[in-house]
Chain A
Amino acid sequence: MTENLNVYAVRTLTQKEYFAPGHRSCQGCAEALAVRLVAKALGRNVIIAAATGCMEIVSSPLPFTSWRVPWFHVAFENAAAVASGIESALKVLMRKGKIPPKKIVTLAMGGDGGTADIGLQALSGALERGHHMIYVCTDNEAYMNTGIQRSSSTPFGASTTTSPAGKVAMGQVTWKKNMPAIAAAHNIPYVATACPSYPMDLVQKVKKAAGMDGPAYLHILSVCPTGWRSAPELSIKLGRLAVETGVFPLYEVERGRYHLSIDFPKLKPMKEYIKLQGRFRHLTDSMIEEIEKRVHQEYDQLKEKAKKGV
């Protein structure tokens, strides 16, 4: 292989782990990896409000916790509201001199269900109110914790336990909800997509989000071998393929201005991504072509936005 010093970049990251091993996620869980990297990027001066979901369950079985930073779980749909409360409390307590002034990041974390579906209201409210917080959505594209049921983030054609591929149905019939666009429509300072297969990019984006003077939204693709019916060792490769085929482009929206984090002269064929996942195994070639067409269309639209700087 040619000299690729980029592989050494990860050595520049802190070795400290704020998310402790011993958590109960499945083997090969890229969502746990995403959460690990987010925690690494933010360090110890953070307070996390988490929604019910895989990451909450695997990390907090009483009386144990995987968290080495303050962490609070309340309910499924209100991570953004709880985070709003935390952020406001920190503000007023520091202002009144009840706690010493210090930069503490407020982070809300939810899965795709807890963000795009049941949590959308609280998220929209928090973004509109302009709290200084980061909202991270770890998107494994279904309600994985309760048994792989579909969410509005489930991609078109995926088979889930409530949108199964059967004799007359072909899996999810709706297109994945565009959460980053919804977040960006709130005119917040920073929106970005990330994937743990690109760890340096993810960490950099989280740090950037922490430095914003207003709400930031990060949408992180989290490969789930259990739910996607893929081999656990492929979680990083699949995340990379999602980006390389244009299914999950990496980009940022800073105050409405789009830039792609990485572009490819030619997107890889959709089939390479799809064939590694059991949840798509029922798709015919023509369906895959249809999906590919739409993915390319959306990718081109994204590139246009980025070119215009709009």
Chain B
Amino acid sequence: MTKPESEWTWKELTVGNVVLEPGNASQYRTGDWKSLKPVLNKELCIHCGLCYIFCPDMAYNLDAEGYFIADLFYCKGCGICAKECPTGAITMVVEEEEK
């Protein structure tokens, strides 16, 4: 786990401020940004993968049953997947605030 920038001391920084851990930005929960979230109707899904390929946030992952499922940790709720789905299997719904 990389700690946030405000907690680093100058001695802890790497030479030249090189970031050594590839892809550690994946710790950041961009999912907090959304107000709409995608919901999948599995009966309409044809497993084409367009939702997965068009997601600018790489939020879709293939599950064991062969469906592409949105990872709400990253999903920003842009709605591209719902718009591009050829069968209309995805709908954007308002995300309820966590209690």
Among A10, A63, A69, max chain B CB count under 10 A is at A63
Q: Which residues of B contact A128 (CB under 8 A)?
A: none
Choose among A8, A20, A26 the residue that contacts B48 (Cβ–Cβ < 8 A): A8
Say which size band chain A's interface belongs to. 35 or more
Asked if A265 lies at the interface with its beta carbon under 8 angstroms from chain B, I say: no
Question: Could you tell me which B residues sit within 8 Å of A by CB distance?
Answer: 2-3, 5, 8, 13, 17, 19, 21-30, 33-34, 46-50, 52-59, 62, 71, 74, 76-80, 82-84, 86-87, 92
Complex CA–CA separation, A225 to B83 (angstroms): 14
Number of A-B contacts (CB under 8 A): 131
Contact B30 A21 (CB under 8 A): yes
- A20 to B25, Cβ gap below 8 A? yes
Interface of A is mostly: loop
Question: Which residues of A are interface residues toward B (Cβ below 8 A)?
Answer: 1, 4, 7-8, 10-11, 13, 15, 17, 19-30, 32-33, 36-37, 59-69, 196, 199, 225, 231-237
| A28-B56 contact, Cβ under 8 Å, with A65-B19, A236-B84 | yes
A68/B23 contact (C-beta < 8 A), A10-B49, A23-B30 known: yes
Residue in A1, A59, A65, A235 whose beta carbon sits within 8 Å of that of B80 in the complex: A235
Interchain CB contact under 8 A, A7 and B28: no
Contact B78 A10 (CB under 8 A): no
